[in-house]
Homo-oligomer: A and B are copies of this chain.
């Protein structure tokens, strides 16, 4: 392991300039959903490309897609035996509405109380600049002990419509050992943490039809089966009384939580009271035998996201509905796969659908879960880096949500992603007064310096 001290000193000495550069990047109004901001989008992409060129990256390109370009660059001077890390990021930001709720101009970065306020400060220009400045600090003082590739897109805030085609088309360009994704955060300013797993998603819409049109429930009720009742039966049957999903083979590919993981999860600040406060629920309940934090991040779930049938206006209408619809989704954990879950759901429906119903099912979204082995070099390097900077043992955690890019890289390139970012839970992402905690900006730079040295 090489010595990071000179890079850390460089970073310390250049704090003011690094902050100025972050501010320049934040001034670019790169709102990806706004067709009036096309020039800003190009400027933001070129700002990132300019940094890479400055640090001696090769093959730096601003590569067009159907909408906003992808910035690519590589630094492979560490040679073919050294690990190659793909750094993922996005240079686009959310819109700023409602703009009157901002206390300062969203595109004129303003510092108050150790925070820098600007659209994109935390999500995720601050994280990108922290990474770039770590790379600059190393390159300016010694040599990169690893190879780096950059993939910085401009469509994350609009659902990355061009990214899948881009990744599948540029597999060789993106070839690497793992991905470092900084689009995230830590648990608290003094609670360093690393996300080592994400849940996947399988989202379906189920439509049932019984009678060919709505009927009078007096004349037909009892004779003709009601699709809304049938739908409720089907959904109820998808889980047992212990909150376990009953779809055939649903748990076959689930990697059980280890005792060590459960012990780590018990240390997280998400206590039962935290979940009650955050959700406003009066009591918690879910799969038996697991804590709320385990259920919400380390266990698969089945949730109804939408339900519709018949008459839903004020008062009463005595209708026996013709149709009933449910949107049902499962959050998946490693190594479940959306395709397997779809087969399992279809098989369940085929076995349990009464002969009175015509039905169809559509998969609206699918996302593979992600995990990086806590014993891998990447994970150990990240945990050690966090401990070096914060001076305390970091927490490791799983996230309950899904990150499509992590899923895409796993699906298309079989690459795992390490989530290591420095946002805080109250950074006002996607909201007015987005901010980034400046001590985390500097600690982020230091952490990435340590991380690159640890892995090298």
Contacts of A220 on B, CB cut-off 8 Å?
A: 275, 278-279, 296, 400
Chain A contacts with B in 272-329, Cβ cutoff 8 A: 275, 278-287, 292-293, 295-297, 299-312, 315-321, 324-325, 327, 329
Give the copy number. Answer: 2
* A305 and B317 contact, CB distance less than 8 A: yes
Chain A contacts with B in 205-222, Cβ cutoff 8 A: 205, 210-213, 215-222
Q: Taking the nearest CB of chain B, how far is it from the CB of A268, in angstroms? A: 12
* B232 and A201 contact, CB distance less than 8 A: no
Beta-carbon nearest neighbor of A204 in chain B: B316
Contacts of A282 on B, CB cut-off 8 Å?
A: 355-358
Of the 9-residue stretches A9-17, A223-231, A256-264, A442-450, which lies at the interface with chain B?
A: A223-231
* B225 and A229 contact, CB distance less than 8 A: no
Q: Taking the nearest CB of chain B, how far is it from the CB of A230, in angstroms? A: 9
Contacts of A228 on B, CB cut-off 8 Å?
A: 303-307
- Cα A297 to Cα B312 in complex, Å, equals 26
Beta-carbon nearest neighbor of A331 in chain B: B221
Q: Taking the nearest CB of chain B, how far is it from the CB of A262, in angstroms? A: 15
Contacts of A311 on B, CB cut-off 8 Å?
A: 305-306, 327
- Cα A6 to Cα B34 in complex, Å, equals 89
Q: Taking the nearest CB of chain B, how far is it from the CB of A140, in angstroms? A: 40
Counting CB contacts under 8 A, is A58 at the interface? no
* B315 and A305 contact, CB distance less than 8 A: no
Counting CB contacts under 8 A, is A237 at the interface? yes
**What's the interface size class on A, roughly?**
35 or more
Q: Taking the nearest CB of chain B, how far is it from the CB of A186, in angstroms? A: 16
* B402 and A218 contact, CB distance less than 8 A: yes
- Cα A321 to Cα B304 in complex, Å, equals 8
* A305 and B217 contact, CB distance less than 8 A: yes
* A229 and B296 contact, CB distance less than 8 A: no
- Cα A303 to Cα B219 in complex, Å, equals 12
- Cα A174 to Cα B319 in complex, Å, equals 33
Counting CB contacts under 8 A, is A199 at the interface? yes
A307: which of B233, B280, B302, B309 is its contact (CB, 8 Å)? B309
* B305 and A219 contact, CB distance less than 8 A: no
* A329 and B316 contact, CB distance less than 8 A: yes
Q: Taking the nearest CB of chain B, how far is it from the CB of A199, in angstroms? A: 6
Contacts of A275 on B, CB cut-off 8 Å?
A: 220, 223-224
* B229 and A201 contact, CB distance less than 8 A: no
- Cα A218 to Cα B325 in complex, Å, equals 22
Contacts of A307 on B, CB cut-off 8 Å?
A: 228, 231-232, 307-310, 312, 324
The residues of A with any CB-CB pair to B shorter than 8 Å are 199, 201, 203, 205, 210-213, 215-226, 228-229, 231-233, 235-237, 239, 275, 278-287, 292-293, 295-297, 299-312, 315-321, 324-325, 327, 329, 331, 354-358, 364-365, 399-402
